[in-house]
Copies of this chain bind each other. A is one copy, B any other.
């Protein structure tokens, strides 16, 4: 169940080794027993492996009594090992595969969640440890795709402006060979996925429910297209419901798996602030698109830019590429207005040019006085301006040449 064209990495491994069928099944069972990201469960898996951790929890030997109570309550209703077995069979029928950390296509970046600490003073940190496994629908190699990916996310209640800008950004990123990652929601998320699809590029929807029943149902046709040419991924096993708290848990994967996150529109006090804090804590590029200050859907974006000095204001694809590209890979030229010959002049030459009368000639001394420069400086500049064809000398005085466009 690795990439479709390579042999299963479990072949020949010990029956409970990482990547073995038993390891995969144990990760499925663990993710079902305890919501993903759980600090203690992830640590136990790191130390003892998934099969031993599952065994320990089901035996009732958890070092955390409360975790134990929750696990045993769930175990008593459905057998976790049987659940895993059934789900893996079901997934195979659906064309979904499970990817685990020992697989070649595991997205290495998500492991940076292993050390993420989000200190909120006075509050217990929410668990944000790496996923134990990722369910995947689609033909693209997961790790390689996410390796060169940017998240484009934002408000469900997006405006026409937000949809337009999202389309431009996602189209351009896809054209430049970057996968566009988002959450599959209405509004900005859908606009990002659709623009990447429209550009014939790669897109990845990271879901907070099973890959067999992507939420929201209104986007079903888009999800089917993504499953065809992109990737649908989720930590939760097929059949899982999109419970609201799962979106927060899911968001950590979007932040960690991508080279950077662009927030296009966000209302005041939206989840965007939490997303950006995580992106910055992970050392990823935290990018924000500004908008009209009169738009409620840009208030959250402007607050992000005001409150996070490390957040980067982006307005175009080159800005995003500059932020996520390898050093020197992309350079944004500064924004340019219409090009004039005068634009390349030094300040003194501009002063000289602007002190010249629109019509007629002027003596050098008067020109110097009007320009607020010394005669010596003016004479030096005049030689160059004459060479450039911007001024002419007539009867020992100076005049603008035609077409130098120097009206005040």
A contact residues vs B (CB 8 Å cutoff) = 33-38, 64-67, 69-74, 77, 120, 123-124, 126-127, 161, 164-165, 242-245, 249, 267-270, 289-294, 298-300, 302-303, 305-307, 309, 312-313, 315-316, 319, 334-337, 343, 346-348, 350-351, 354-355, 363, 365-366, 368-377, 406, 408
Contact = CB atoms under 8 A, between A and B. Distances in A.
A127 B124 CA distance: 57
Contacts of A164: 294
B293 A316 contact: yes
Contact of A369 (B74, B319, B370): B74
A293 B372 contact: no
B408 A242 contact: yes
B335 A303 contact: yes
Contacts of A366: 73-74, 77
Given A127-B372, A268-B337, A337-B268, A70 B365 contact: yes
Contacts of A292: 161, 291-292
Nearest to A368: B70
A359 to B, nearest CB: 14
B294 A165 contact: yes
Contacts of A267: 337
Nearest to A347: B126
A184 to B, nearest CB: 15
Contact of A315 (B120, B293, B315): B293
A116 B66 CA distance: 65
Nearest to A306: B313
Contacts of A299: 315, 335
A369 B71 contact: yes
Nearest to A354: B244
> Which of A243, A293, A351, A355 is packed against the most chain B CB atoms within 10 Å?
A293
A117 to B, nearest CB: 15
A312 B319 contact: no
A69 B375 CA distance: 7
A269 B337 contact: yes
Q: Which 7 A-B pairs give the minimum distances between C-beta atoms?
A: A66-B374, A35-B372, A73-B365, A290-B290, A268-B335, A293-B315, A244-B354
Contacts of A289: 293
A242 B358 CA distance: 13
Given A269-B336, A294-B161, A347-B123, A355 B245 contact: yes
Contact of A245 (B73, B124, B127, B350): B350
Given A123-B347, A290-B302, 6 more contacts: A126-B351, A161-B294, A245-B372, A290-B291, A306-B312, A306-B319
